[in-house]
Amino acid sequence: MTLTFAPKSQAATPLTLLTDADYDGWLAAQTPEVQSWLGALGFTAKLGATALVPDANGGVRFAVAGLGGAKAKTRGRFGLAAVAAALPAGDYTLANPADISDLDTQLLGWLLAGYRFDRYKNQASGGARVVCPDGIDGARLEVIAAGEALTRDLINTPASDMGPMALEAAAQDLAKTHGAQFETILGDDLLAQNFPMIHTVGRAADQAPRLLDMRWGTDGPKLTLVGKGVCFDTGGLNLKPGASMGLMKKDMGGAATVLGLAHMIMALKLPLQLRVLIPAVENAVSSNAFRPGDILQSRKGLTVEVNNTDAEGRLVLADALAYGCEENPDQIISMATLTGAARVAVGPDLAPFYAQNDATAAALNTAADQVADPVWRMPFWDPYEKMIEPGIADLDNAPSGGFAGSITAALFLRRFVDNPQYTHFDIYGWNPSAAPARPKGGVGMGARAILAALPEILDL
């Protein structure tokens, strides 16, 4: 599957895009034949409405499509993707690109409308392609679409084919593609090299736990991405109920998202030094699974009381974050499908994030608005620190009471970070219902906002 623009060709059908507000004025300027034809079709400029206008020989003279009104724009992200999905197969060229204020984002939506997860079933891809207009960096948009497609493919693949070994292979393939260095710390070597919590969480699974470490670039500021790679989460001995376990193939969504973002960074050859750390494990149930009440050692030396084995993501991230901070990067970002509390707080569309630095948070908010990748800042609320201090150990992995679950998880992670430039994303990684350019299933969250904010965050 390739998400690319159509080549420039005189055979491409001109496509005029119209909002509700523009349609009547545009129609009044058309010939009586066009007015009659569109009237007979009952065409309106509602979102996703399309019509082909014939020429005198019965061919297609041009196409027209609706982008809806103000409500359609504020309630959705990729109006042009709805058009792409509705058009007949063929190549199209935009007749009025200057009329679209967020043209880059809308064209990305068109590309993403062609995404299909077809590993297990043949799926017809969208046959409508668009020519990239002059003045638009089409190559950049194709790179971003490819990174998003990688993230979606990884999340959508079930744990039977996306366990720790397969996640390692996917990361290694990405490293080879871009000439990056790659290392895996596997199984009991995690203990020998002081990653005790990654080992503890993953030791009960058939596939050994591992830490994936990818490096790219030799000059520029240092960016470290840490992605939660729990390839399936049963909940451990605190077993999840069936309804909660059904989507746990997506619990490596943080890893999938940082790999998609890494592809974007490397393919665009951004002038920075990138490191990607992924603790890849399966939280399984077996005789040697870690238990409620266990007290774990961590790489940083902090002890952690396990009050729920289903709060395992923060444990594996903690060791990886501590490791990543040892090189003092200019920015360290973790991404994880970490808490249900985040979903309750902001739902499935928004990517909540925690930032130590106000300027970083402002840059992310601005970039998110520009690229239609919505984020929402949450607080590192210091008064809740006492909630993660159980008394018997330095930290509690699952404070009782149910309050502020996403915040306390973020505070837990912050204890392992010795870097003032730390940002944490508590993402969902799943689109529960289909929308233009965003089919039901795995989805990247926050990656495009980070990519757009990097020039300011890292002073590139």
Catalytic residues: 240, 314
Query: Would strands 210-216 and 273-283 be described as parallel, antiparallel, or unpaired?
Result: antiparallel
Find out whether 281 and 300 touch, Cβ atoms under 8 Å: no
Q: Which residues contact 392 (CB under 8 A, 6 or more apart)?
A: 295, 305
Find out whether 87 and 113 touch, Cβ atoms under 8 Å: no
The helix-helix angle for 164-178 and 138-156 (nearest 10°) equals 160
Q: Which residues contact 131 (CB under 8 A, 6 or more apart)?
A: 5, 6, 7, 8, 9, 12, 91, 92, 93, 94
The helix-helix angle for 79-86 and 103-112 (nearest 10°) equals 40
Find out whether 167 and 280 touch, Cβ atoms under 8 Å: yes
Find out whether 228 and 337 touch, Cβ atoms under 8 Å: yes
Ramachandran area for residue 423 (φ above 0: left; ψ -120 to 50: alpha; else beta): beta
Residue 73 is encoded by which pair of tokens?
């724009």
C-alpha to C-alpha distances, 445 to 91, 372, 396, nearest whole angstrom? 30, 10, 28
Instruction: Measure the N-to-C terminal CA separation of the chain; round to a whole number of Å.
Output: 32
Picking from 212, 195, 207, 355, the residue whose alpha carbon sits closest to that of residue 276 is 212
Q: Which residues contact 421 (CB under 8 A, 6 or more apart)?
A: 329, 330, 331, 332, 356, 357, 360
The dihedral through the CA atoms of 452, 455, 458, 460 has a sign that is positive
Q: Which residues contact 134 (CB under 8 A, 6 or more apart)?
A: none
Find out whether 183 and 195 touch, Cβ atoms under 8 Å: no
